[in-house]
Amino acid sequence: MTLFGQVLIGPPGSGKTTFVHGMHQMCTALNRPNIIVNLDPANENVPYIPDVDVRDLINFENVMNEHKLGPNGALVYCMEYLQVNIDWLIDGIRAKRKNSSYILIDIPGQVELYTHNYVLREILSVLAKDLDTRLTAVHLIDSTLLSSPTNYISALLVSLSAQMSIELPYLNVFSKIDLLEHFKDDLPFKLEYFSQLEDLNQLLTFWKHESNMGDHPLFLKYKGFQSELVDLVEDSSIMQFIPVDINDKDSVLQILQLIDKSNG
């Protein structure tokens, strides 16, 4: 039986774990049995009870101490260790799925795991082969970043890089949309502009004037490079964002329907 589901990715603090919890509650309310897989060994405070937890396989703190690694290096080590022990993950999912036909996978927030390293892609590829998974990657971006044009464009580039690397159907989501009310006066454009990626050169022009960087030698030096980045993002027609308030059931249901359509 095909196992449909979601892979939650995004930088630290983007709300992935909260999203997983809210989506689990929505699926349960819809009588859709589901299992949660936590693949973040450094995630100490989860609001849900994972059915399969990578922390049962490897200890993040021990990896840091024994191998003298920093947090990012330890996470890469843990993911590579999971890849070597992929049978542990497959057996765990098989044992827990029972009548469930839906899976939610919580991924570490370090973006290099899916932009500069292929271990996550390889793990998901094995799941597709051995468990007949059909997954959509849901990339969360904290909507409060919209108040900073440079942070927003950086988030777009990370998302585009992840889309090309992870090789799954892909949805971009603005998370924590309920908090945007506190930042609405700081937004240079309406939310629809950021969601639909309409003429990003307007954003560069706004930033140039607001930051008084227009005549700065560094700005002039990289002006062409910035325009090329904007054109790259705009040329990728797959780029758009869906605002989601995980505390609003209608909002959660809307994104779930889009994910279902993406999964086929």
What value, to the nearest 5°, has the Cα angle with vertex 15 and ends 78 and 150?
Answer: 100
Instruction: Classify domain 3-142+169-178+240-263 by CATH number.
Output: 3.40.50.300
pLDDT given for residue 12 in this prediction: 87
pLDDT given for residue 207 in this prediction: 66
pLDDT given for residue 83 in this prediction: 97
What is the block-wise mean pLDDT of the chain (264 residues), using blocks of 10 residues?
94 92 96 97 91 97 96 95 98 93 94 84 96 96 86 84 88 90 79 81 69 58 68 70 93 96 93
Q: How many helices (H) and strands (E) does the chain have?
A: 12, 7
pLDDT given for residue 208 in this prediction: 65
Do the beta carbons of residue 15 and residue 83 sit within 8 Å? no
Do the beta carbons of residue 23 and residue 179 sit within 8 Å? no
Do the beta carbons of residue 189 and residue 152 sit within 8 Å? no
Do the beta carbons of residue 224 and residue 250 sit within 8 Å? no
Domain boundaries, the chain: 3-142+169-178+240-263
pLDDT given for residue 213 in this prediction: 56
- Please tell me the distance from the alpha carbon of residue 111 to that of residue 113, in angstroms, as a whole number: 5
